[in-house]
């Protein structure tokens, strides 16, 4: 009885020990008698005791490998330090288990050699400005080589590119000179634009001033012409009224004397008085003297 209970307990323990629960995004590679048997997916699985074993537990999540800086030499013989980040995912647990020994070490070595081959075909300036091209080439090469290993390379990124210190100093000086040049160009363009705006302003001001003077002269001339017309109209009206009044000879002589007086107020040095006005002029002078007394 005790032996039966012991056998039952032992069988129960064996069953419990050979029950396995595979979690999400994981896979178990199972061997039977040393040969590949199957790959367990998510769920509960039972392993035949003593004749089957779990050869490898594989994660199917996307993984990241961050490699330390690698020394690489460009086409123009410049040694740089470049560190690389590789994003990959295991797509076939069987190939990953049996495809290559130490797959992570193989991935690191393959990444370093591929990076050296690509950078060796580029010059320094191309390396610094062609990160996307390098990333694309490396991803394509790594993905093709690692496909028999059951690995899918999703992305490759160059995290840092570090040239030698003397080249970094030269690049900084070059960048500073370029910034100074751009600043000088911008200042010159600003000064030029300012001078152009000032000249255009002065030109517009001169045009407006000339136009104002022109309009003022036109208006002044029109005013003078209008005044002359009004004077002429008044004279014409006075002559008309005088003619309508039928003036006698004395009135006409008096008007002539008034005209003569206006003539005498001018700049003339000699005045010739008609004979018919001399008597009238003497009479006017006598009347003036009488009024003074």
Given the candidates 3.30.479.30, 3.30.1390.10, 3.40.50.1100, 3.50.40.10, the CATH classification of the domain at 62-163 is 3.30.479.30
3-state secondary structure of 70: strand
Distance CA 168, CA 161 (A): 11
Task: Decide: 81 and 69 in contact? Cβ < 8 Å.
Answer: yes
Splitting the chain (293 residues) into consecutive groups of 10 residues, what average pLDDT does each group show? 81 86 93 92 90 92 91 88 93 92 91 92 86 92 93 92 79 79 88 89 88 87 84 74 63 58 54 52 49 48
The continuous run of DSSP H or E covering 233 comes out as helix 165-244
Sign for the CA dihedral angle at 72, 75, 78, 84 comes to negative
pLDDT at position 27, please?
95
The continuous run of DSSP H or E covering 153 comes out as strand 151-162
pLDDT at position 174, please?
77
Which token pair is 249?
């000879």
- What does the DSSP assignment read for 125-150? HHHHH-HHHHHHHHHHHHHHHHGGGT
Q: Which residues face 57 on adjacent strands?
A: 28
Which residue has tokens 């367990």?
A: 40
> pTM here?
0.58
């Amino acid at each position: 009885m005790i032996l039966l209970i012991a056998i039952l307990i032992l069988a129960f323990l064996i069953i419990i020990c050979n029950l396995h629960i595979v979690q999400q995004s994981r896979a178990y590679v199972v061997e039977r008698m040393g040969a590949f048997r199957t790959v367990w997916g998510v769920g509960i699985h039972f392993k035949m005791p003593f004749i089957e074993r779990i050869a490898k537990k594989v994660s199917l999540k996307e993984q990241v490998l961050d490699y330390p800086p690698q020394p690489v030499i460009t086409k123009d013989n410049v040694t740089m330090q470049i560190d690389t980040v590789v994003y990959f995912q295991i797509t076939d647990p069987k190939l990953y288990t049996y495809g290559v020994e130490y797959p992570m070490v193989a991935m690191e070595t393959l990444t370093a050699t591929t990076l050296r081959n690509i950078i060796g075909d580029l010059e320094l300036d191309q390396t610094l400005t062609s990160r996307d091209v390098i990333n694309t080439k490396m991803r394509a090469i790594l993905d093709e080589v690692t496909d028999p290993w059951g690995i899918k390379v999703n992305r490759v990124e160059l995290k840092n590119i570090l040239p030698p210190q003397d080249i970094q100093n030269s690049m900084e000086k070059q960048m500073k000179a370029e910034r100074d040049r751009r600043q000088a160009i911008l200042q010159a363009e600003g000064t030029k634009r300012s001078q152009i705006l000032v000249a255009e302003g002065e030109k517009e001001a001169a045009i407006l001033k000339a136009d104002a003077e022109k309009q003022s002269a036109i208006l002044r001339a029109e005013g003078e012409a209008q005044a002359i017309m009004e004077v002429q109209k008044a004279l014409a009206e006075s002559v008309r009224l005088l003619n309508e009044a039928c003036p006698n000879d004395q009135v006409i002589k008096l008007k002539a004397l008034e005209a003569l007086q206006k003539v005498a107020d001018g700049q003339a040095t000699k005045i010739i008085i008609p004979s018919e006005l001399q008597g009238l002029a003497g009479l006017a002078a006598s009347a003036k003297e009488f009024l003074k007394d």
